[in-house]
Structure 1
């Protein structure tokens, strides 16, 4: 399913849903962050996705990371909660979702970066190298906050 990101756009469609979603900021031993290139829009992003029924939110973070990257993680904290009402995602099926995403900090456990139906590329990326990738501004904010290693989560 295709998606269009609307960010601070006066022409964005009105949202018709809010879904609890997660992203996961995980680094390897060299301090590189795990990123995917999304198949639905071609942008680079942290792994993540929507919570399923019957799941604790930390389980969502672990599952989505495994499904999209082949990497096992353990949730260790919260980078932030991202709820900008001026960021909506329009899907080809008619859903227009207002952003609601919890970005977790994860610890690498095992696994080798592997692509999936949702990721055309999976890589450990240096902070400086991430600046050259096509990353949506809202995702860039999460990545920057993850690298900052804040004592308190971002709430916005």
Structure 2
């Protein structure tokens, strides 16, 4: 009898950057952490379509993915997140069931507000030498 192997979960993160350089971040309703918007990728969608859907659902902002920023694995939960730098296309930022607050912060403020494992995605989105591959424990890079 063969045991079923554990499976990874795949999520997407949108690092949305306006023309003025401000970054879209949410204060999660479930744990109060400031993070770029994102969530679980559905089986039927491409990573790019997933990031568009997740950012819109969580913030009311329609985005256009520009490039893959990196691949980030939570070693504790087995979640692999694909982060994309995106540009806003339309919409007005609004709170949702998942986002208690939605703000446009300057990159320094956004990085300072987020846990290290999420802040690095913002930092990486402003670099041009990626995409990056990083591992973390949900909060801290390993």
The residue correspondences of 1:30-49 to structure 2 (distance < 5 A) are: 30-49=20-39
Match of 2:116 in 1: 137
Maintained 8 Å contact 2:63/2:90: yes
Alpha-carbon shift at residue 84 of structure 1 (Å): 4.6
Maintained 8 Å contact 2:13/2:84: yes
RMSD: 1.5
TM-score (norm 1): 0.77
Distance 1:99 1:120 in 2: 23
Greater relative contact order (CA < 8 Å, ≥ 6 in sequence):
1
1:1-45 per-residue CA deviation (whole Å, 9 max, x = no partner) reads xxxxxxxxxxxxxxx652110101111121000000001110000
Alpha-carbon shift at residue 54 of structure 1 (Å): 1.2
Instruction: Choose from 77, 82, 92 the match for 1:112.
Output: 92
Match of 1:121 in 2: 101
Q: Which runs of 5+ in 2 are unaligned?
A: 1-5, 135-142
4+ residue runs of structure 1 moved beyond 6 angstroms?
Answer: none
Distance 1:56 1:17 in 2: 19
CA 52–131 in structure 1, closer or farther in 2 if over 3 Å, else same: closer
Instruction: Choose from 104, 109, 130 the match for 1:152.
Output: 130
**Which segment is superposed worse, 59-68 or 49-58?**
49-58
Instruction: Choose from 48, 61, 65 the match for 2:55.
Output: 65
Match of 2:68 in 1: 78
TM-score (norm 2): 0.84
Maintained 8 Å contact 2:26/2:101: yes
